[in-house]
Amino acid sequence: MTTISSMDVSHILDQLNKPQREAVSAQAQPILVLAGAGSGKTRVLVHRIAWLIQVEKVSPFSILSVTFTNKAANEMRFRIEQLLGSSVGGMWVGTFHGLSHRLLRRHWQEANLIQAFQILDSDDQLRMVTRVMRGLGLDKKEWPPKQAQWYINNCKDEGIRPQSIEDYDDKTTRQLRIIYATYEAACQRAGVIDFAEMLLRSLELLRDNPELLQHYQQRFRHILIDEFQDTNALQYAWIRLLCGDQNPPFAVGDDDQSIYAWRGAKIEHIQQFSQHFTPTAMIKLEQNYRSTGNILKAANAVIAHNEGRLGKNLWTDRGEGELVHLYSAFNELDEARYSVSRIEEWVDQGGHYQDIAILYRSNAQSRVFESSLNEGAIPYRVYGGLRFFERAEIKDALCYLRLTVNRHDDASFDRVINQPTRGIGNKTVEMIRQHSRHLALSFWDAAKALVEANSFTPRAGNAVRGFLQLINTIATEIIDLSLEEQVEKIISASKLKAYYLKKDKGEVGQGRIENLNELISAAQGFHYRPDDEHADMDFLTAFLSHAALESGEGQAKAGNDCVQLMTLHAAKGLEFPLVFLTGMEDGLFPSERSTSEQSKLEEERRLCYVGITRAEKQLVISYTEQRRLYGYLNYNQPSRFLKEIPSAVVHTIRPKIKAWQRHFHLSKSSPKWKGTINETGMNIGQRVSHAKFGEGVVIDVEGAGKHARAQVNFDLEGSKWLVLHYANLQVL
Ligand code: ATP
Ligand code: MG
Q: Domain holding 303: CATH number?
A: 3.40.50.300
**Ligand having the closest approach to the CA of 79:** 1
Q: Is residue 34 part of a domain?
A: yes
Mutate to test the pocket of ligand 1, among 290, 318, 572 (most ligand atoms within 8 A of CB): 290
* 226 among known catalytic residues: yes
What's the pLDDT at 5?
61
Residue nearest to atom 19 of ligand 1 (CA): 40
The binding-site residues of ligand 1, defined as CB within 6 angstroms of any ligand atom, are 15-17, 20, 35, 37-43, 254, 257, 289-290, 573, 575, 613
Output Rg (C-alpha) for the chain, integer angstroms: 29
Mutate to test the pocket of ligand 1, among 17, 21, 34, 42 (most ligand atoms within 8 A of CB): 42
* Assigned domain for 668 exists: no
Residue 725 is predicted with a pLDDT of 76
Distance in Å, CA 210 to ligand 2 centroid: 34
227 is a catalytic site residue: yes
Residue 684 lies in a domain: yes
Return the CATH number at 134: 1.10.10.160
- Locate the ligand 1 atom nearest the alpha carbon of residue 16 and give its number: 27
CA distances (Å), origin 544, targets 401, 406, 530, 547, 666: 8, 12, 15, 5, 21
Q: Which of 146, 167, 190 is the last residue of a domain?
A: 190
Domain boundary among 287, 304, 337: 287
Listed as ranges, residues in the chain with pLDDT below 50 are: 1-2, 530-535, 551-558, 657-679
Which of these is catalytic: 194, 226, 585, 700? 226
Nearest-CA residue for ligand 1 atom 8 is 38
Residues 322 and 425 in one domain: no
**Residue 593 bears catalytic tag:** no
Q: Identify whether residues 103 and 132 lie together within a single domain.
A: no
Q: Report whether 386 contacts 540 (CB < 8 A).
A: no
Give the position, in ligand 1's atom list, of the atom nearest the Cα of 36.
Answer: 2
- Cβ(332)–Cβ(584) under 8 Å? no
Query: Is there a single domain that holds both residue 142 and residue 130?
Result: yes
Q: Assess whether 299 and 375 both reside in one domain.
A: yes
Residue 474: half-sphere exposure toward Cβ, Cα within 13 Å: 26
User: Catalytic annotation on 142?
Assistant: no
Known catalytic residue: 173? no
Strands (E), 58-210: 63-66, 92-94, 118-120, 192-194
Assess contact for 415 and 599: CB atoms under 8 A. Answer: no
Residue-wise pLDDT for 130-156, tens only, equals: 878 988 999 988 999 989 999 999 899
DSSP 383: T
Predicted local confidence at residue 36, as pLDDT: 92
Look up the CATH number of the domain holding residue 473.
1.10.486.10
Catalytic residue among 194, 227, 255, 335: 227
CA of 38 to the centre of ligand 1 (A): 5
Q: CA 547 → CA 74, 285, 365, 630, 729, distances in Å?
A: 34, 48, 16, 17, 42
475, 462: one domain? yes
494 and 393, same structural domain?
yes
pTM equals: 0.72
- 667 part of a folded domain: no
Candidate list 221, 614, 627, 628, residue with the active-site label? 614
Question: In this structure, is residue 56 part of a structural domain?
Answer: yes
User: Which residue has the CA at smallest separation from atom 24 of ligand 1?
Assistant: 40
Closest residue by CA, ligand 1 atom 31: 289
Do residues 75 and 209 share a domain? yes
Q: Please tell me the distance from the alpha carbon of residue 297 to that of residue 291, in angstroms, as a whole number.
A: 10
pLDDT computed for residue 700 by the predictor: 75
Q: Which of 551, 569, 592 is the last residue of a domain?
A: 551
Tell me, yes or no, if 41 is annotated catalytic: yes
Looking at 389-505, list the stretches that DSSP marks H as alpha helix, in order from N- to C-terminal side: 392-405, 410-416, 426-439, 443-452, 458-477, 483-493, 496-503
Per-residue pLDDT, 681? 66
Write phi, then psi, for 595 (nearest 5 degrees): -70, -15
Q: CA-to-CA distance for 80 and 90, rounded, in angstroms?
A: 13
Range of the domain at 700: 675-731
Note the ligand closest to the C-alpha atom of 614.
Answer: 1
Asked whether residue 52 is domain-assigned, the answer is yes
In this structure, the residue with its CA closest to atom 4 of ligand 1 is 573
What's 702's domain CATH number? Answer: 2.40.10
Based on the fold, state whether residues 184 and 72 are members of the same structural domain.
no
Same structural domain, 29 and 99: yes
Q: Are 466 and 451 within 8 A, CB to CB?
A: no
Report how far ligand 2's centroid is from the alpha carbon of 72 (Å): 9
Would 3 be classed as within a structural domain? no
Helix axes 506-524, 483-493, angle to 10 degrees: 150
pLDDT of amino acid 663: 44
| Omega of the bond leading into 590 within 30 degrees of 0 (cis) | yes
| Residues 147 and 235 placed together within one structural domain of the fold | no
Query: Can you tell me which atom of ligand 1 is nearest the CA of 227?
Result: 4
The answer on 332 and 255 residing in a single domain is no
Number of domains in the chain: 5
In this structure, the answer to whether residues 99 and 154 fall within a common structural domain is no
Q: Indicate which ligand has the atom closest to the C-alpha of 572.
A: 1
> Closest ligand 1 atom to the C-alpha of 613?
3
Helix/strand/coil (H/E/C) assignment for every residue in 96-138: HHHHHHHHHHHCCCCCCCCCCCEEECHHHHHHHHHHHHHHCCC
513 Cα: distance to centroid of ligand 1 (angstroms)? 38
Q: How far is the CA of 292 from the centre of ligand 1 (A)?
A: 13
Give me the pLDDT at residue 267, please. 78
Spatial distance between the Cα atoms of 513 and 630, rounded to a whole number of angstroms:
8
- Measured in Å, residue 36 CA sits from the centre of ligand 2 at 9
Tell me how far the alpha carbon of residue 575 lies from the centroid of ligand 1, in angstroms.
9
User: What pLDDT is recorded for position 533?
Assistant: 40
